[in-house]
Structure 1
Amino acid sequence: MASLRLFLCFFLFTASSVNIVCSRSLQKDHIALFVFGDSVYDPGNNNYIDTIARANYYPYGETFFKHPTGRFSDGRLISDFIAEYANLPLIPPYLQPGNHEFTTGVNFASAGAGALSETNQGFVRALAVIDLKTQLSYFKKVAKQLRQELGDAEAMAFLSKAVYLINAGSSDYVLPFTSNSTVFQYFSKQQYVGMVIGNLTETIKEIHKEGGRKFGFRNFGSMGCIPLLKALVPGNTTGSCLEQVNELAELHNAALTEALEEMEIKLVQFKYSMHHLNIYLSELTKNPGRFATQPQCQVIKENEAYSNVDVCTDFVLQGFKEVNKACCGSGPYRGISSCGGRTGVTEYELCSDPTQYFYFDSSHASDKANKQIAQLMWSGPPNITGPYNLKAFFQL
């Protein structure tokens, strides 16, 4: 059986198949990062499918990459920063063609994807995306190839050490309010959230069957307060939020926490990290110029999850001048999704300094905001990110 250390293989996607190309550069303590989800984590997979849900044009990517990459931001995504903190290179899109090493992981995320297969795909073809179920099928192909090349034991060892970032559900909750959906005529909010959590839970369990053990999530903040949805509130001159979506986010957060706690009990070696984005955004809304946490060193030292991790430093993060309005877009709060002029509305406004804005476009965070969230996910204290943070996962 080939040695994991010497012969772990990486994947090359072609139009017809996924081929493995061997690499001997893997370090002994190497831990890979696999990413699933929507535009929060999509590094450019949608560049390679027939959809208008893309960000491969100016001004996306303007501040860090200096060119558009397909990321819905002026720069990097949360997953890019997590890879950096873990001493990994940028995790490549699964659909990106060419010879690319995937020994460090792979990113399956697709902008617009939902936990429900019907999200976006069921409305218009132009918004066709790679739903979570399809992303899971891609991952299973990767896992199968690993087993064929490494043998079951070494493949399982590799996959069990890896970290799995998942962000799914936001598209499911936002789309019904930005389209002519009648979904809530047939389902209550609780039933609808139950369907989203059910699909998400099933995906997690399937990844676990393939070897996944360490999963990272962030809950939802007040999604009804993103510029896109504020712009939908009639006559909104006071910054009012779309409360129906906030209700869905609260139901989702509670249901996801319950599901994760149950899986922690029932699934072998299952561990999870939950970043409480709702706390961060709530505090940032109250005090946009500064976000700080109090030191919780004693709490951390009593928590086995953090026993070997130095996270006793309190966070003080420089805030933003603008947390209600997007840097790029048009209309109220720049909430019309016109950034770049490629989505039907050709005229748009662009701020001069995205670092002063939490939102880069109508529904996506700026490079600076993504960095702050990633810092809190990586080494935030238990009241912000727990029961593990991602730094702990990469040291397990």
Structure 2
Amino acid sequence: MRLFQTKTHYISQIFNVNIQVYHLDNIKACYFSSPDQSNQNPIHRSNMVNPIFSLYWVWAIFFFASESDGFRDRGAVLGHHSPPAIFVFGDSLSDTGNLMAAFPFLADAENSPYGSTFFHGPSGRYSDGRLIIDFMASKWGFPFVEPYFENIVPNYRRGINFAVSGATARNVTEPIPFFLPLQTDQFVRFKRSVNASLNSEHKSDCLVSHVPEVKSFEDGLYMIFIGVNDILNSLFLNASAPPFVMEEIVPRVISSIFKAVQDLYKEGAKNFIVFNIPAIGCTPMVLTLGSSGPFNSTDGLGCLKDYNQVARYSNNELEKALAILTHQIEHINIMVADIYGFMLKTIANPARYGFDDRAKFKACCGFGGDPFNYNPLVPCGGNPAAKACSQPSKYTSWDGLHFTDAFNHRFVEEMMKSTPFPKFY
């Protein structure tokens, strides 16, 4: 939270610069067969070269669960095939380096000990290692999908990631200007640039091998993982009460996600995974900030009830909205990934999932010690006083809000086993 409070003005000021300026730096000679060809259509080339990160076919592993396991399957069996490409929209829970590339030296995740468990150094991810989408990609033999703002010979053959840490679902430019409607606009621009480039008589074999096939935009997998920043910013930056957030903020969040699915469908998208809002009342950050306020009642698990009620209400409204979409639109497949439910399962029985009961409410990387090891003024990666724990794999929370590599891994493993955490519409 401190990151966005102190650096917001810097971001909002430079946001007036055309976003495509980042793309102009991404032109790679590799994509063109001769120096003469590299001078043609620079705008199309620059747009074609900056996409981001990919996720991979995930449905097949879920289609064998019965309705009693928590699934609602509309009968669309996608089969045991990987998607041709994955297109990701979201925030820090799925950002694999966009914030770091777009705003250098801004994010705490650029600093150690972020990335220490798997990458052995910062990777732009808000975790000690891999994110959920990384594990999903690995399950299908995909490489990690690169960020939209990647500028070192990116390869988008398997998809692109538009997620940016701090982004909101609503059309809000603060604290981070890459809100969901802008991310979907960037996708449209990217798709058009790819199509134009592939139809060019000057395309090279290298270009063809580094961008999605045209049909991939129709048959690919579209992942949306956003909304929690809208809620947290309202609760803690704007000091709004939970009832206000449910009444005023949540409907706008759901409306934005609803419209994003509609807009992407108009561009040919058919297959969606939408992640719901995590159980924020169980996170070290919210437990620290909320325990001293008026909404500090806890439930039987030890989580803050009023804050989890906001998440639960959001998720119920999300499911209602997505159910409407599936009845309004033919040939659309939507799955909700229930990370809220999985968080509650791990809090209730940490040992079952390989976590330490004594660490279930603690940040691995933080400051302050028990009970939550979180201090907003001493953030992980932003202050050397914030230290990482010795066994991140025993923790669910990495920095007080984001998940550890171990949690992300276990969530994907449970999804692959057809547990109740994905739901179909």
Q: TM-score range by the shorter chain?
A: 0.7 to 0.9
Number of residue-to-residue matches in the alignment: 333
Within a 5 Å distance, the mapping from 1:189-200 to structure 2 comes to 189-200=246-257
Partner secondary structure for residue 110 of structure 2: coil
d(CA) in 2 for partners of 1:147, 1:247: 44
Are the aligned partners of 1:376 and 1:385 in contact in 2 as well (CA < 8 Å)? Answer: no
Whether 2:261 is the aligned partner of 1:204: answer yes
1:222 paired residue number: 279
Deviates more, 1:205-214 or 1:57-66: 205-214
The structural deviation recorded for 1:376 is 2.9
Are the aligned partners of 2:114 and 2:121 in contact in 1 as well (CA < 8 Å)? Answer: yes
Are the aligned partners of 2:283 and 2:361 in contact in 1 as well (CA < 8 Å)? Answer: yes
2:188 alignment partner, one of 120, 140, 156 = 140
2:24 alignment partner, one of 3, 11, 14 = 14
Deviates more, 1:372-381 or 1:170-179: 372-381
**Alpha-carbon distance change, 108 to 240 in structure 1, aligned in 2, over 3 angstroms:** same
Partner secondary structure for residue 19 of structure 1: helix
Deviations 1:26-72 (A, max 9, x none): xx976111111011001010112337344111000001010101100
1:357 paired residue number: 395
Are the aligned partners of 1:50 and 1:128 in contact in 2 as well (CA < 8 Å)? Answer: no
Whether 2:240 is the aligned partner of 1:178: answer no
2:307 alignment partner, one of 225, 245, 260 = 245
Unaligned runs of 5+ in 2: 1-21, 26-42, 51-80, 200-211
Are the aligned partners of 1:173 and 1:245 in contact in 2 as well (CA < 8 Å)? Answer: no
d(CA) in 2 for partners of 1:282, 1:184: 20
Deviations 1:145-171 (A, max 9, x none): 2332456xx966321211111111111
d(CA) in 2 for partners of 1:270, 1:146: 24
1:289 alignment partner, one of 351, 357, 371 = 351
1:330 alignment partner, one of 360, 363, 367 = 367
Whether 2:84 is the aligned partner of 1:31: answer yes
More strand, by proportion: 1
**Alpha-carbon distance change, 280 to 255 in structure 1, aligned in 2, over 3 angstroms:** same
Are the aligned partners of 2:227 and 2:277 in contact in 1 as well (CA < 8 Å)? Answer: no
Unaligned runs of 5+ in 1: 1-11, 22-27, 291-316, 389-396
The structural deviation recorded for 1:274 is 1.5
The one of the two structures with greater contact order (alpha-carbon pairs below 8 A, sep at least 6) is 2
1:314 paired residue number: none
1:319 paired residue number: 355
What is the Cα-based RMSD across aligned positions, in Å?
Answer: 2.8
- Percentage of pairs with the same residue: 29
d(CA) in 2 for partners of 1:380, 1:60: 31
